[in-house]
Amino acid sequence: MEPIDLIQQERKLTAGTLRNYKSQLNTMVRLAGSEWWDNDPKVTIEAIDKSGKSDTTKRSLYQICLVLMLSSVTHLTKLKEGTKYLNDLAYRDEVDKKLSEYKKNSELFRKEMDALKKSYEKAHRESPDNVISVNQKENMISYEELRDYIDRLKEDIGDSQELHRAYVILESLIRVPVRNDHAGMIYIGKRDFMHERIPGKNYLVDTVNKKMTFSYYQANTTKTRPDEHQDLPKELESIWKAYIRKWGIKKGDVIVPLSPNDLSHLLANTSKKYTGKRVSTTLIRKIVVGHKFSDPDFKKKKAEQNEFAKKMGHSVAVQDLVYNKA
């Protein structure tokens, strides 16, 4: 059985997750060879570490390794309930050996994934925005250029859902620049949200007669999480509703069927086309907050500054330290 079929059998993946997992498994074959899952896990780990890919991508690759190992453990555990396992000693030994290997491998991959996660959280604990790298300087644009880029993108949407998706996300980010929190976002009604929401998921909640609301899950690293519930301004609500209508999106659908990494690529590639630069969500955060701080009155309105900082997912102290250059 192919790895993706085994994972699908044990996990019942959504279409978006299935597509992402297939891509990640293909990457693993290119990096570590065919049937890497049955090779020495240390060789696989070394292949990922030396791949030259970003830490975010590496973490995704360790995650697919872990998912495959855990799915294999579940599959083999079910085989132990069969008559062949009970009656065939050689088969039983083979199953037990593989089960033991996959359990050990899963712990190794989990350890590597957690190490990258901790490193990421440490670097982003209070603000991922307080250092502008050489690459970011090269790709920085002004607020006016960002606004112009979004407006030109709107004119080109036509029948492209990908461009339309990038447009609605950018319209959201220029108002409240969260990180990649729109990735995997689910469109849902208020009643279903109250009773059926899944921990770890972000939602666009449609209250029908009232405002639409972004609901961002609150993880353990709450200092870097956006404020949990954020009502959409009327203009932004209209933009999202137009997107929903045009593409026939129903309640319960994943309205942004992208991983955080895929969302980063979408925004970087789209901005490259329109501005000649790769404008990430991190840069958009700098651009938008820098624009707000260009208004002297904004810095005097501490209540508004505090509210905006909470929406973005960092503290007022960080905004003062990083952006208050006056």
The pLDDT, as a whole number, for residue 101 is 94
Are 288 and 181 members of one domain?
yes
Are 113 and 52 members of one domain?
yes
The pLDDT, as a whole number, for residue 321 is 53
Are 97 and 179 members of one domain?
no
pLDDT in tens, 28-45: 999 999 899 999 999 999
The pLDDT, as a whole number, for residue 127 is 42
Q: Which residue has the higher pLDDT, 83 or 208?
A: 83
Residue 130 binned pLDDT confidence (cut-offs 50, 70, 90): very low
The number of beta carbons lying within 10 Å of the beta carbon of residue 58 is 18
Angle ∠(23,28,31) on CA atoms, nearest 5: 130
Are 114 and 138 members of one domain?
no
Q: Is the confidence at residue 132, as pLDDT, over 70?
A: no
pLDDT in tens, 225-253: 554 678 888 999 999 999 999 999 999 99
Tell me if 43 is assigned to some domain.
yes
pTM for the predicted model, two decimal places: 0.57
Are 143 and 115 members of one domain?
no
Are 106 and 140 members of one domain?
no
Spatial separation of the C-alpha atoms in residues 183 and 190, rounded to whole Å: 20
- Say if residue 13 is exposed, middle or buried (CB neighbours under 10 Å; 0-12, 13-18, 19+): middle
Are 234 and 168 members of one domain?
yes
Tell me if 101 is assigned to some domain.
yes
- Give strand pairing partners of 254: 186
Are 294 and 199 members of one domain?
yes
pLDDT in tens, 179-188: 888 989 999 9
Cβ atoms of residues 167 and 154 within 8 Å? yes
Domain boundary (124, 147, 177) is at 124
**How many domains, the chain?**
2
Domain boundary (124, 148, 180) is at 124
Are 174 and 195 members of one domain?
yes
Tell me if 129 is assigned to some domain.
no
Domain boundary (89, 124, 159) is at 124
CA 45 to chain centre: 22
Tell me if 80 is assigned to some domain.
yes
Q: Output the six-digit token pair for 236.
A: 């932004």
Are 231 and 310 members of one domain?
yes
Are 8 and 113 members of one domain?
yes
Q: Which of 85-94, 138-147, 236-245, 301-310 has the lowest mean pLDDT?
A: 301-310
The beta-carbon contacts of 8-17 under 8 Å, at least 24 apart in sequence, are 9/71, 9/75, 10/71, 10/74, 10/75, 11/67, 11/71, 14/254, 14/257, 15/257, 16/184, 16/254, 16/257, 16/258
- The phi, psi pair for 282, rounded to 5°, reads -60, -45
Are 171 and 62 members of one domain?
no
Q: In which domain, by residue range, is 74 found?
A: 3-124
**Where residue 202 sits, what CATH number does that domain have?**
1.10.443
Q: Write down the mean pLDDT value for the chain.
A: 83
